[in-house]
Amino acid sequence: MSHTSERLAELGIALPKVAAPVAAYVPALRHGREVRTSGQLPFVEGKLPFTGKVGAEVSPDEAYRQARQGALNALAAAASVAGGIDEIESISHVTVFVASTVDFTGQPAVANGASEVLGEIFGEAGSHTRSAVGVAVLPLDSPVEVELICRVRG
């Protein structure tokens, strides 16, 4: 069985640096064999590539890609308290918040951006429960925010 770090290299994915909190919280906490992340925005090099609502300023396809980035940012936060990416055994739950127009109902398809990248990285261990939640607005006018609950080796 290969290590997660090896799988990331095979996929050509480099985990980003852990994003600095934008308020009074920490990016992730470990309790025993569980790691929970705070909601992670889809920052790329410290900036949000897109802002606005899905269904208006942001297309569903772009929101999917932003959910993927948010999941990678959350995974980096989880790894930072787990002892490294290879210490994450599985993904238990994913919550994806989607800032969307009132008539947009494609939140599950947007959330697939997060779910699918975790599946690519972890295989069967990336199978998880999930919530895809439409909201009026997110911090910094981000189109998506992703939270993870992970199980770590122990």
CB-based burial label for 151 (10 Å; 0-12, 13-18, 19+)? middle
Phi, psi of 27 (to 5 degrees): -65, -35
Phi, psi of 6 (to 5 degrees): -70, -40
Mean pLDDT of 19-46: 95
Give residue 56's pLDDT.
97
Residue 20: which pLDDT band, with cuts at 50, 70 and 90?
Answer: confident
Give residue 2's pLDDT.
53
Mean pLDDT of 82-98: 97
Give residue 1's pLDDT.
43
Q: What angle do CA 64, 120, 150 make, to 5 degrees?
A: 90
State the pTM of this model. Answer: 0.96
**Other CB atoms within 10 A of residue 53 CB:** 21
Express each pLDDT in 101-147 by its tens digit.
999 999 999 999 999 999 999 999 999 999 999 999 999 999 999 99
Rounded to the nearest integer, the mean pLDDT of the chain is 96
Domains of the chain: 4-15+25-152 (3.30.1330.40)
Helix (H) / strand (E) containing 29: strand 28-31
Q: Which amino acid is at 33?
A: R
